[in-house]
Amino acid sequence: MIPYGLYVLTAQSSDGQIAAATVNWVTQVSFEPPLIAVGVKVGSGPHKVIAEAGAFALNILGKDQQAAAYTFFKPVVPEGQT
């Protein structure tokens, strides 16, 4: 079972670009094989990296880790891009 809460989704592209985002829409799709569905905004930085990488990590945050989730709420401009 997937607990309701906040999650930090992370991914890394083949060229080393790292993306992270706070998500709160996660649902279990099946037990066998174990699959989940996650809501990620199309066209966002994390979406582009996940699509290129083909994989991501979903970090389940505890109640005492909400401050960490807020770190990833707003989009950022990657270094070297203005």
pLDDT tens digit string along 10-57? 999 999 989 999 988 999 999 999 999 999 989 888 899 999 999 999
Q: CB of 79 within 8 A of CB of 17?
A: no
- 55 or 67, which is more confident: 55
Q: For position 6, what pLDDT does the model report?
A: 86
The CATH class, in words, for 7-71 is: mainly beta
Residue 82 pLDDT greater than 90, yes or no: no
Q: Where are the domains of the chain?
A: 7-71
Q: Predicted confidence band at 4 (pLDDT cuts at 50, 70, 90)?
A: confident
3-state secondary structure of 30: strand
The length of the chain in residues reads 82
